[in-house]
Amino acid sequence: MLPFEFIVTGKPVSHQAKDRKRVQAWKLDVRNAAEACWKPGRPVGDQVRVVITHYYDAVPGSEDTVPDSDNIVKPVRDALNGLIYVDDYQVTDFVSRRRNLNGSFRVKGMSPVLAEGFCQGEEFLHVKIEVAPDPEELN
């Protein structure tokens, strides 16, 4: 079941977008992408860590149209509620990153899912859900 990862092709929509229909459509895109890959068919009950990386396409230095990583988190977390995890209270650890597709990457052990995202040649989100680390083992 976990770890589980998937990609969503396209530019993410901020939870602050004024066009609420666009936000809802984006949530549905995220949910559909996750659902297509989620084989257990029921949500996990464990505490989880969610890692979202937004691979965007922008000329370096002209990144003002790229949404802030913290603004794209909420629609993704909402979309996964009831599908991957019962409720987002189970998300104890969260990492949100953004990376310019026009940059250089050194990737060791790239997963087939992440490779698929790069091969599409478009902006995408890579979402990975894994069992949360034991809080007693963290500093």
CATH number at residue 48: 3.30.1330.70
109-136: per-residue pLDDT in tens? 899 999 999 999 899 999 999 999 987 7
d(CA 67, CA 55): 11
Backbone angles phi, psi at 128, to 5 degrees: -130, 130
Instruction: Count CB neighbours of 71 within 10 A.
Output: 15
Choice between 91 and 17, residue whose per-residue pLDDT is larger = 91
Structural domain range at position 91: 4-133
Residue 139 within a domain: no
Total domain count for the chain? 1
Q: What is the pTM of this model?
A: 0.91
